[in-house]
Structure 1
């Protein structure tokens, strides 16, 4: 015989209950011997509890009760539930008159949901020609008199079940009410949480069933709740021991008491999906499976109680006093550990018991309050418990660090004696994000990186396209899912929690006006983890958002140089904030576009290498301009227009010619060496004659030929075999507080390293004490949207590998 159990969602009106009838009919008509255990249909139990609360508070409940009855009858025209409805009418009326009810009355009320469910299914099966028999489990399962959480009387219950199934056997399909039972006085009792599963497990045990099949709305047990973690994977096979751990730590498909009767008789449990009957589900047997992390379980509807006081630290017997006091009031503690204070103890109890637990503990520690050994006992209600089943403490740092990086700070930490299960208490509002962060770290599935890109011009637009084009390859190769959830310009933002697609450019017009807080709120609303903000603007105003983004969990990648060249106080504040929130700020493209310059300098400086000088051609735009002008017999204005046409310069080329861009890059490198220079310290040779510095871009371009005699003269006055180069030079005593920063146009031998630069390449010479007169030379493409975007992309990928 097989025992089939169907839950409330499976039995709901519509597709659910008809699918259940199909499954049972198919099995019965194919000759399978089976019994069926049912929960109440849909949300019937919750509905009955709500009506009961309205009745006891003398609130109007008739409308909701009528809706309940209507739902139970639905389109089943030949089905009658008058007896159950009459019982409910009398019970609710009595509760309303008395203004009170006992647990015994509540059990009677709730039992009607299962009775109606089983009677309806029996009726529907009989209409299909199946020999179905309604079986009220109150006549079979006998319990003690603990209403709401009754314990079965094993010997008597087994005898009743065996005798019943001897009478109704063969081709009879017994449709049994789950969850409900009765005491020796024949008063209705209930079996508590997951009671219908427990009923099914008891029947399986008493009848030596071949298998218990638990039909739910999912395909089995997953590595996490698939409603909360999209990447959750189904677990094909578990052992009873592992299932018991999952049940204890909150897996809502299982309950510890469900497993025990099956273990006793070695009866397999299979978790199946009512709506996908072709799936094999998850099989739970006595056979041990491979070691390792199995699943993330969640306990909700719990509260965290904190006892804090100077006298608790190291004091013997405190835990015992806590357990004894709470046990006296039948309050169960699921977790106890060092709390959120070094001088505190934290414990987790059911939310409905939290206030009572606090009162009990205040009474127990009354004397300790007087001696100041205990200062406060507080209750934190909005919490949840995440348990990592099978987590080895030796690798726990990975998910823990990932949580901290995503600004999820556990309130309490606990591990089992075996060291194979770890539980964390987190704020309920952070539960969804925490589950996704942990799951991505420990199960080797795709790690999602959520990116907000600000600025979608040449560099930003190219970057977005590069990400979209490479995303699938990176996902397969690196198991990293790059999700661009926001694309913004200075006015509008395009938001999509699942990521923008290749049509983002046409969709950006549908964007909405925004503030940076809107982006933060959106990320929080959709529980987005591993956040990166990418600044591809050239905006001083946008850098004002950096601190707020860091505070709200974003790492930052930037091609915008401004943040690193503002006041030294801001520079230090930003680094301090990054350290405080354990976030990263990468900006490799700030100086050398796609060249690995900043990383090289950081590494040299960190290793203790004394850098004595850095000089080079910092601007790809000006590199192209002077390389071409020096080599070819052409007018300066002609070469400048060509550089503009190729996109090497800004629309107003004076932004390049003024030298501020090179100055900012030089200042960034100075600060990487811990120098406290400000922008005003830079000696900048402005390449624009004073009379051309004012006015708009068009007026300047109309007078561009005035540059020709100036630069022709400079070119002609060079020594033979020399060329012009616009360089940045950081020198002086770089062990002092400040260095010397020069930005100037120089003439260098054509045969020198600087003189051999071609096209729009940049070149950097890094002089150190160890290398002496032979510098480290880094040379390559120094301009262009594709190169810069690729450098930004590299920084994004670098961030995905940190932590």
Structure 2
């Protein structure tokens, strides 16, 4: 018995420099007779098609022709007759500026005929007794040029007759993809038809094995060029492989498996450039249940057939598919609406216009009676198929797609119930592959993060994420990938993520238009997107909706978005809901303290919160804790806070009380109150004469504050200390509450009075707890505390994706 070895175009492209193909054949020839089936060399078929189009358009094509000759030129191998025929065909096409499918097939066939002669001669030069066979005389087809159907009866007879004559030959070489009609007109079997040729030869010669050598190590769980985490599949059964081929696996022809099943001939996919790999075995042996692979059909179009007047009418779908079948148009994915009112199905994009015309003709009377309303074409689609997926566990990948802004146009479940096909927008198919693959195959889920603001908090956060990345990957199966870092002027990108020396990774920056982050994520098909806002500006919050509309969740230490107009606040939440996105901002009020979540929980559980009071600012907490008990002038205490990084670059941003007011407003809105920032009574701690100074002038004149604050300190009793507090009160069941911020005297033994360092404290009064408030207290300031809080929000989001 013999083995059939098939070599694809990419395997042959390296013949000039790589002897793997010749060595592989020599090694197998030691133990078995071989039939070698070859495709055209490299991209020969594409070049021939380009030449045809140039000739048709009467454009110069000499350069392309020279490229074709160079690709297929080997010394001492005479292919002149084929190139002469190619040139004659091109001259004729150029003259009449058109060509028929028959002419196209005759031209493309030269690629396989040349490659089979080249390989034969190279084997002879290598000392191997190879025999060339013209496969156009073996594979007999109908006259459907460019995608001919094999006449199996005539082909089997021709193959068996020819190989009986060659019974003493141990090494036979022939081209795949090509055949001829009963009248000996040359035809082709369609793209990847060489696999079908090899499978038919294996069947009719009763080969013991079919070895398909290509440019990859086998069949993968997804195309490894698109999904880096794709894994090689060791074993598939015939049914699974046939589904893969039908739904777009590029290294399998849709009809390849059928000839092998009858004789139970195993097929192994191998890599010419990596002979050590065991590849993927396809056989009759059963395999474990479960998803095997993801495939993609790209060159397809969706036909939408719609008619309200078809209610109650039977046989409409039969008319559709019969009309298409009569014109040799194949349908791959079908989804039908209720009562036959609507039908969507997928065809090759090259046949979509014809399909529409055929159906418009078939249903012309129904258009007249308005039973059929519309037949449309959507060319902007791709079909992603999950081979081995059943509906029981489909909710997980489907939910992940929706969370990433990918909503299938339609989906189809196979008759076996084990394969699901999704029709999606073509621009989204690579992102969809990443999302589904991560959900199904248990590989780490990648969460792609863009960080805007790389100042004190931003830099600490970046370091925290990078330092914890490996541990999180191990414990949570989540890969945190920082793909963008931006400040107010520039943005830096790294598709594979920034690492510990992230500041040294910065290459030429792009201008930070914010839109560049969105475009980069689209261009690189990044999934599970999170935008981190560590700025203090209003410009980024005003763009949150743009990011949300483009698939980003938001995590922010920036308070602005929650304290703009109530209308903005409400619209932002409506947009989050519409896009199924989340916006987390735990650090907006209590830095790293779990304040907002607890207030949300109390409110949602129906607990009536009656008042919230506390020291909201860690910065002001530090200043007045120190100033109240130590014999130091106010300017010295303030300077210490500045040096520790507790204040904003302009300390007046803290001392003005606006920061506390913003925090108070955020909590009010968590209780569904509709207060605006201007509703808040704010005590500004900066004397009026200091408010109009520049930052530099203010910092230079800090000692000028001492008299004012010494007077306040002198008024304190021995058991009193100063605290700057925020308070939300009033009837909180109404539309608005009473909000105020102020500097007050408190008993040093009270909860507020016992604060130390930069701690914040929040007293939450409720109807159930009466006068005994829920107290949340802890560190309320500092870059590390705030960054850790932002990091916590990131992880909460990442686990839900």
**Normalised by the shorter chain, which TM-score bucket?**
over 0.9
Q: Would the aligned equivalents of 2:758 and 2:779 in 1 still touch at CA under 8 Å? A: yes
TM superposition shift of 1:15: 6.2
Q: Would the aligned equivalents of 2:316 and 2:340 in 1 still touch at CA under 8 Å? A: no
50-59 vs 763-772, which moves further: 50-59
Post-superposition Cα deviations, 1:207-249, rounded to whole Å, max 9, x if no partner, equal 2222211111111111111111122111111111111111111
Tell whether 2:71 aligns with 1:71: yes
Compared CA separation, residues 142 and 513, structure 1 to 2 (3 A): closer
Q: Counterpart of 1:316? A: 314
TM superposition shift of 1:95: 4.2
Q: Would the aligned equivalents of 2:131 and 2:169 in 1 still touch at CA under 8 Å? A: no
Aligned residue among 696, 699, 703 for 2:697? 699
Please list every run of 5 or more consecutive structure 1 residues that lacks an aligned counterpart in the other structure. Answer: none
Q: Counterpart of 2:6? A: 5
TM superposition shift of 1:432: 1.6
Name the SS of the counterpart of 1:332 in structure 2: coil
Q: Counterpart of 2:358? A: 360
Aligned residue among 686, 710, 717 for 2:684? 686
Post-superposition Cα deviations, 1:80-120, rounded to whole Å, max 9, x if no partner, equal 10122233233334444555544333332222111110110
Q: Would the aligned equivalents of 2:487 and 2:512 in 1 still touch at CA under 8 Å? A: no
Q: Would the aligned equivalents of 1:338 and 1:413 in 2 still touch at CA under 8 Å? A: no
CA distance in 2, matches of 1:509, 1:205: 57
CA distance in 1, matches of 2:190, 2:219: 22
CA distance in 1, matches of 2:568, 2:312: 44
Q: Counterpart of 2:182? A: 184
CA distance in 2, matches of 1:470, 1:488: 21
TM superposition shift of 1:690: 2.3
Q: Counterpart of 1:246? A: 244
Q: Counterpart of 1:271? A: 269
TM superposition shift of 1:168: 3.6
TM superposition shift of 1:424: 1.2
Compared CA separation, residues 114 and 508, structure 1 to 2 (3 A): closer
Tell whether 2:756 aligns with 1:765: no
546-555 vs 91-100, which moves further: 91-100
Aligned residue among 490, 493, 510 for 1:492? 490
TM superposition shift of 1:183: 3.4
Q: Counterpart of 1:40? A: 40
Name the SS of the counterpart of 1:481 in structure 2: strand
Q: Counterpart of 2:722? A: 724
CA distance in 2, matches of 1:150, 1:654: 80
Post-superposition Cα deviations, 1:439-477, rounded to whole Å, max 9, x if no partner, equal 222221122222111110000111111112222222222
Q: Counterpart of 1:522? A: 520
CA distance in 1, matches of 2:205, 2:340: 53
Tell whether 2:300 aligns with 1:299: no
Number of matched pairs:
800
Aligned residue among 318, 322, 325 for 2:323? 325
Tell whether 2:7 aligns with 1:24: no
Tell whether 2:654 aligns with 1:632: no
Aligned residue among 343, 346, 370 for 1:345? 343
Please list every run of 5 or more consecutive structure 2 residues that lacks an aligned counterpart in the other structure. Answer: none
Alignment of 1:491-570 (within 5 A): 491-508=489-506, 510-570=508-568
CA distance in 2, matches of 1:166, 1:536: 78
Q: Counterpart of 1:579? A: 577
CA distance in 1, matches of 2:186, 2:134: 11
CA distance in 1, matches of 2:432, 2:119: 41
Q: Would the aligned equivalents of 1:433 and 1:529 in 2 still touch at CA under 8 Å? A: yes
Q: Would the aligned equivalents of 1:306 and 1:339 in 2 still touch at CA under 8 Å? A: no
TM superposition shift of 1:641: 1.5
Q: Would the aligned equivalents of 1:9 and 1:16 in 2 still touch at CA under 8 Å? A: no
584-593 vs 793-802, which moves further: 793-802
Post-superposition Cα deviations, 1:471-506, rounded to whole Å, max 9, x if no partner, equal 222222222222211111111111222223333324
Tell whether 2:118 aligns with 1:131: no
CA distance in 2, matches of 1:342, 1:769: 58
215-224 vs 422-431, which moves further: 422-431
Compared CA separation, residues 758 and 164, structure 1 to 2 (3 A): same
Alignment of 1:737-748 (within 5 A): 737-748=735-746
Q: Counterpart of 2:254? A: 256
TM superposition shift of 1:166: 4.5
Q: Counterpart of 2:112? A: 114
Q: Counterpart of 2:658? A: 660
CA distance in 1, matches of 2:18, 2:323: 46
**Normalized against structure 1, the TM-score is what?**
0.95
Post-superposition Cα deviations, 1:17-36, rounded to whole Å, max 9, x if no partner, equal 632122212333x4343221
Aligned residue among 629, 632, 644 for 1:646? 644
TM superposition shift of 1:314: 6.1
Compared CA separation, residues 508 and 99, structure 1 to 2 (3 A): closer
Aligned residue among 619, 622, 626 for 2:620? 622
Compared CA separation, residues 343 and 407, structure 1 to 2 (3 A): farther
CA distance in 2, matches of 1:64, 1:526: 32
Aligned residue among 377, 398, 422 for 1:400? 398
TM superposition shift of 1:121: 0.7
729-738 vs 361-370, which moves further: 361-370
Q: Would the aligned equivalents of 1:268 and 1:283 in 2 still touch at CA under 8 Å? A: yes
**Normalized against structure 2, the TM-score is what?**
0.95
Q: Would the aligned equivalents of 1:681 and 1:741 in 2 still touch at CA under 8 Å? A: yes
Name the SS of the counterpart of 2:252 in structure 1: coil
CA distance in 2, matches of 1:462, 1:15: 54
Q: Would the aligned equivalents of 1:9 and 1:41 in 2 still touch at CA under 8 Å? A: yes
Name the SS of the counterpart of 1:238 in structure 2: strand
TM superposition shift of 1:322: 1.3
Post-superposition Cα deviations, 1:357-383, rounded to whole Å, max 9, x if no partner, equal 111111222222233332222111121
CA distance in 1, matches of 2:206, 2:114: 28
CA distance in 2, matches of 1:543, 1:80: 70
Compared CA separation, residues 171 and 417, structure 1 to 2 (3 A): closer
TM superposition shift of 1:431: 1.7
Q: Would the aligned equivalents of 1:140 and 1:160 in 2 still touch at CA under 8 Å? A: yes
Q: Would the aligned equivalents of 2:323 and 2:359 in 1 still touch at CA under 8 Å? A: yes
Post-superposition Cα deviations, 1:723-773, rounded to whole Å, max 9, x if no partner, equal 322111111111000011121122223332222222111111222222222
Post-superposition Cα deviations, 1:165-207, rounded to whole Å, max 9, x if no partner, equal 4544567211121112233333333333422101111122222
CA distance in 1, matches of 2:549, 2:341: 28
Compared CA separation, residues 454 and 258, structure 1 to 2 (3 A): same
Name the SS of the counterpart of 1:4 in structure 2: strand
Q: Counterpart of 1:443? A: 441
CA distance in 2, matches of 1:746, 1:341: 73
Aligned residue among 172, 195, 198 for 2:196? 198
Q: Counterpart of 1:223? A: 221
Name the SS of the counterpart of 1:475 in structure 2: helix
208-217 vs 634-643, which moves further: 634-643
Q: Would the aligned equivalents of 1:16 and 1:275 in 2 still touch at CA under 8 Å? A: no
Compared CA separation, residues 295 and 340, structure 1 to 2 (3 A): farther
Post-superposition Cα deviations, 1:406-441, rounded to whole Å, max 9, x if no partner, equal 222322221123332111112222222222122222
Q: Counterpart of 2:590? A: 592
Name the SS of the counterpart of 1:644 in structure 2: helix
